[in-house]
Structure 1
Amino acid sequence: MNILLYTRKWRRDFDYEVLRCVFPNAEITSYSEERGVADVWLGEYLYAGGQTSLEATLTEDVFRDVVSRDRFLVNCDVTRARRVVGRVWAGLEGLFDKKDFDLVYSYAIDCYCSDVCAKIAKDRGIPFVSFVASFIKGYMMFTTYGERMRLGRKVSDDEVQRVYKLLSEDGFLPKSEEKNIKKSDISAIRFYLRRRIIESFVNPVRRLIHGDQDNQLYATEMLRERKLSDFYCKGWSSILHDMEDYDVDVRQSIYFPLHYVPEASTSYWLNRVAPLGYSDYVCDVIERSDPSVMFYVKEHPAMFGRRELNFYERLSNYENVRLVHAMVRSNSMLRAFDNVLVDDGTVGVEALLRGKRVLSLEGNYYSDLHPNCFVVDYVRLGDLSRQLDTSFGGREFVRGLLSDMYPTSYYDSVSMGENVVAEVAAALRMWCGLYV
């Protein structure tokens, strides 16, 4: 067994331990964008000179797709982006040619370094495995670009009931909301100042010390030339309202929760976002939907004070848009609406369990598991009255979700002890039984 591993410093040992549990005799070749972390440092390709044009197997369409999804490359000039992608693509292709890999094991795709590898593996018919922690605490799911990968795990009635009860509780919050639901104006200022220090001082020093000017981790600029006033000014949050300020006509209204950006579930899991950018994507949906549909757009708690103010001003200019404060809990929003608009957000799962009608702008990891989730391009008034299947139970939906998830305490922000290694290794064995 010959395995290619994409890893990072903070989880390198964990990745090796998992692979050794499942494939004790495998030859493992690792690569990373961080110097001194893996067998292959991507800087060996980036700074080696030579060919900088698109290689034969890297088409212009694929190149543009890679660039549009990566938070570093999307802000680079075309010449630099072409050099970076072209050299890394050529270098990894050479590594694939040399090693003849049977499997690629990767940290979840959230940058061009793993995206390029996944695309090359797909072209060559090599299994590519990555996983993420589920929004349901205590579970993980395998996915490459947000799709649900089948595991077919047998789920007991007790497990279904426990998770159904958890997700149906009024106080339920996904992990993405738990730590952000009480943010304040001070949080917005603190984020900007911290990010400005990182981009203006910390990252330049890192690039100098490591001799790594094109490292995605050290060269990403989220703020660029933007000032604090672009994200925050006194009283700015007054443009976002509590639901008490609105009189909702549920027959013509839909709840539209916004995403945190940039992150993998937006940049890599959604195909409609990358070509436009998230702000233009949201506006495109509203502009090309039926103007008689009223959109109640709620900011994501984690984006409080992090999204440019001109985006809210742009949304407020639409007559059929109402802005809702980020700190309003999603559960209270679900009580107020019969219709919810998502793409791959977890709010869609919560809504379906509460008997709501869910319109999804893309097929996602749960859209085919429930008859009341309808995939649409844009929102038409008639979509808000589509007939619901009241015979399909929430527990059946939960069983379908859990059958393709694996119970584990794996989560990016926690210590990965022996129990987590054993759990992830067991999940990987099950996945390999289906895909390798």
Structure 2
Amino acid sequence: MASVLIYARPWNEAQFYDLANRTWPKTSVGIISEHSDVDQSGFFKYFYSYFEESKKYSNILPYIEFDNDEVSSIVIRCRLLRSIPYSLALQLIFSASNAINQVLDEQHPNYVLSVTVDSYIIDLLARLSRKKGARFIGLAPTFVNGYFRITERGEKAVNREVSADEVESVLAMLTDQKYKPQWLAPDRGTIRKKAVKLWARNLVKPMWFAFYSRWKNDPLNAHYMTTDIVSRRYLSLFPRLYNEVGKVADVQTAIEKDTRTSVFLPLQMSPEATIDYWSSDLSWIDYEEKILSTVKRQSEKHLFIVKEHPNVFGFRTPGFYDELRQINNVVLVNPEVSSNDLLQICDSVLVCTGTVGFEALVRGKAVFSSSEPFYAEPSVFRSLDDEVGDCHVYAPSELVEYLLSGFLPGTFNNDGSWGNDLKSGKLNNEVVADSLRNYIGDSE
């Protein structure tokens, strides 16, 4: 009988357990987690035991089973590990990798089901599962409503055949000027309310997680430590919102008055796995610094139309918006302005891995990126030093066919909302499970 190991957190434990049982009926299912109230595998206990052992070594690096390049990648791509002393980061890698190995040796899973890699814990789980011969399946939602994808760290893992009817249906949906992915806030009022709520929650997080980690007797919990570090970085006594250009017509006027090439720059959520783990260019990991340095370096050539991501409006380091305002080749646009409308009037788009880049490609726009986003062949993306007029225009249907060949039908939510409508959630899981069964059968 096959064995499945789930990586779960408190907010998605029931969702993943239900999904695993639907995908692999009558199969042994276990749960691994850094959260003590979810973990069924012993990882939590093993981790702290190995951490005590790590204190015996003056230089722990030789006792970690990964080479120096792998260790460097594990550290720099994890928002927690790169923010703490290197010696502590190595202790955590040593402890977690040994604990994961012990769980894998005890349970011998054929499959490991998880969200896509978004922390050093899942990074190690994916690497070690591969070494042990277990198949790691990382799930991620997509910007195309009704589809999800399988990916370990951003790569295109699925290659399925897509019908012409499916391509045309999705192309029509994506090119509708009113289309929005289901996770985006829908309007100005919602965006502003969400921003204030995000600020208020962040204000109390440092104190709460300092207390909570001690109450749970879990001071090295990756989620608690990460949340504390990130919340402190973005801490502000007041919401950091802005009221800049709020109408597309005003943006168009600014573009027409300027002789430089217009580049739409939709800001991405950060820190986020889509940057930390999905970008092939590590310089994007310090996202805000990368944005500021890039627009300044291109001041003579490009006019940047910068719009904040609706779901992280206000959740930036103090002074970031002010710095953007002071750069003479930046037009800062309110987040409620439609990205589709901005795509219509801008010459090109700059992204790290953001999916607005794909929406630009199907509209015949040049897309600049150094990160090799998953949704198109690397040759499609250009450098900011290229001339926009030299960029090849690709057939929209071919672009959508390539995109969908890496997606699977089904709705996978990764926002903790699964239990809010249990009936709907289970129906979604059944479609996702059916796609997973077909994918596993076709690829084995």
TM-score for the superposition, normalised by structure 1: 0.86
The one of 401, 404, 412 equivalent to 1:402 is: 404
Q: Does 2:390 align with 1:383?
A: no
Match of 2:349 in 1: 340
Match of 2:41 in 1: 40
In structure 1, stretches of 5+ residues that fail to align are none
Match of 2:31 in 1: 30
Match of 2:16 in 1: 15
Match of 2:140 in 1: 132
Match of 1:247 in 2: 255
TM superposition shift of 1:149: 1.7
Q: Tell me how far apart the structure 2 counterparts of residues 225 and 318 of structure 1 sit (CA, whole Å).
A: 23
Match of 2:203 in 1: 196
Secondary structure, in 3 states, of the residue corresponding to 2:359?
Answer: helix
Secondary structure, in 3 states, of the residue corresponding to 2:381?
Answer: strand
Match of 1:324 in 2: 333
Letter paired with 1:217: H
Match of 2:73 in 1: 65
In structure 2, stretches of 5+ residues that fail to align are none
Letter paired with 2:128: I
Q: Does 2:103 align with 1:95?
A: yes
RMSD over aligned CA atoms reads 2.9
Match of 1:121 in 2: 129
> Per-residue displacement from partner, 1:291-338 (whole Å, max 9, x unpaired)?
422222222122221112422333344443332222221012111112
The one of 86, 97, 102 equivalent to 2:94 is: 86
Query: Bigger shift: 37-46 or 137-146?
Result: 37-46
Query: Bigger shift: 302-311 or 7-16?
Result: 7-16
> Per-residue displacement from partner, 1:77-125 (whole Å, max 9, x unpaired)?
3333222222001211233344444332212222222111112234455
Query: Bigger shift: 247-256 or 180-189?
Result: 180-189
Q: 1:85–1:291: structure 2 CA closer, same or farther, 3 Å change rule?
A: farther
> Per-residue displacement from partner, 1:409-430 (whole Å, max 9, x unpaired)?
3323344543223212211122
Letter paired with 2:140: V
Matches within 5 A, 1:410-425: 410-412=412-414, 413-414=417-418, 415=421, 417-425=425-433
Match of 1:169 in 2: 176
Assess if the C-alpha contact under 8 Å between 1:163 and 1:398 holds in 2: yes
Q: 1:66–1:401: structure 2 CA closer, same or farther, 3 Å change rule?
A: same
TM superposition shift of 1:168: 0.9
TM-score for the superposition, normalised by structure 2: 0.85
Q: Tell me how far apart the structure 2 counterparts of residues 180 and 362 of structure 1 sit (CA, whole Å).
A: 30
TM superposition shift of 1:211: 0.8
Q: Does 2:320 align with 1:311?
A: yes
Secondary structure, in 3 states, of the residue corresponding to 1:177?
Answer: coil
Q: 1:145–1:315: structure 2 CA closer, same or farther, 3 Å change rule?
A: same
Match of 1:357 in 2: 366
Q: Tell me how far apart the structure 1 counterparts of residues 340 and 106 of structure 2 sit (CA, whole Å).
A: 53
Q: 1:2–1:399: structure 2 CA closer, same or farther, 3 Å change rule?
A: same
Match of 1:51 in 2: 54
> Per-residue displacement from partner, 1:192-217 (whole Å, max 9, x unpaired)?
2222223213x234223321111122
Q: Tell me how far apart the structure 1 counterparts of residues 46 and 5 of structure 2 sit (CA, whole Å).
A: 16
TM superposition shift of 1:289: 4.9
Q: Tell me how far apart the structure 2 counterparts of residues 309 and 207 of structure 1 sit (CA, whole Å).
A: 27
> Per-residue displacement from partner, 1:203-254 (whole Å, max 9, x unpaired)?
234223321111122232223276525753xxx6146665515234586221
TM superposition shift of 1:14: 3.3
Assess if the C-alpha contact under 8 Å between 1:151 and 1:434 holds in 2: no
Secondary structure, in 3 states, of the residue corresponding to 1:354?
Answer: coil
TM superposition shift of 1:255: 1.2
Match of 1:259 in 2: 268
Query: Bigger shift: 277-286 or 17-26?
Result: 17-26
Which 4+ runs in 1 deviate beyond 6 A? none
Q: 1:95–1:162: structure 2 CA closer, same or farther, 3 Å change rule?
A: same
Secondary structure, in 3 states, of the residue corresponding to 1:109?
Answer: coil
Letter paired with 1:150: V
Q: 1:211–1:347: structure 2 CA closer, same or farther, 3 Å change rule?
A: same
TM superposition shift of 1:41: 4.7
Q: 1:123–1:139: structure 2 CA closer, same or farther, 3 Å change rule?
A: same
The one of 301, 318, 331 equivalent to 1:292 is: 301
Letter paired with 1:59: D
Residues paired across the two proteins, number: 424
Secondary structure, in 3 states, of the residue corresponding to 1:130?
Answer: strand
Q: 1:109–1:350: structure 2 CA closer, same or farther, 3 Å change rule?
A: same
Q: Does 2:221 align with 1:218?
A: no
Secondary structure, in 3 states, of the residue corresponding to 1:282?
Answer: helix
Secondary structure, in 3 states, of the residue corresponding to 1:223?
Answer: helix
Secondary structure, in 3 states, of the residue corresponding to 2:102?
Answer: helix
